[in-house]
Structure 1
Amino acid sequence: PAPAARAATPTPTRTPFATPTETPVPKPTPTPVAMPTRTPFPTPTPTPTPSPATPVRASDIVNFNLESFTVSVGTKVTWTNKDAAQHTSTSGVSDNKDGIWDSPILRQNEMYSFTFNQPGSFPYWCTVHPFMVGTVTVEP
């Protein structure tokens, strides 16, 4: 018989060997070093010395009577009309205003203030009732 055909023998192919790939090594990142910085010192803000409070003197107009009293220079006097009748506090003597102060007509519980900045003796009166008189004495 005829010789049988021989099956072709596969030719082995070469499998390439894997060559190692270089793995990159991370380079160390330098850690920042804290550097001292100069912190400016706060400039102290001077605390203002509070000015002394203005002294206050209350004077009630009551029973058709104006008070006479003594205060220091710089005192603020506040007159309050406690009467049901209307009154004023007006510097000067009856029927003669001297123009230093002159309140409007004060109804019951209304107030008027004046600050005395000069020493002296200051007569005052009510223009509605001229018989009502008083004196504010202001000392240095």
Structure 2
Amino acid sequence: MRDRLRPEVRDRIVVALLPMQDVEENAAIVNALQRRADVVVQKSLAEGFGLTVAEAMWKGRPVVASRVGGIEDQIEHQKSGFLIDDPTDLEGFGSAVVGLLQDHDRAAALGREARRHVIRQFLAPRHLMEQAQLITSVI
């Protein structure tokens, strides 16, 4: 599929396989890649929470990810990212990524909403408020 892309799109696609031996080095590389990425792809066959997805969303990056595990709880499909139903659907992933690379405004809007979603749903203040409400309801 990559060879069918326009050169200006094809040249912006980077695939990285990271060594897992050094956890700190790996985290630094992932952080740097996410900060520079136009789109972050998380193509998981199975996943718990998917911290990489939350980190990319926090950085305001649109995410294209498999609809598996906790990832589905993080991304609002077509609002804060794209969820692909079948994690083996390479055409689906490719189409979503290419669409975002070709539509900068849409990608930026998804990234902004992704960041807002993380702030609303996953940061400590929300959880503290829920705990306070729970305690208040019991008292």
Q: Same fold (TM over 0.5)?
A: no
Tell me which protein shows more helix as a share of its residues.
2
TM category (shorter chain) comes to under 0.3
- Rg: which structure is higher? 1
Q: TM-score scaled to structure 2, two decimals?
A: 0.27
Please state which structure has a larger fraction of its residues in strand: 1
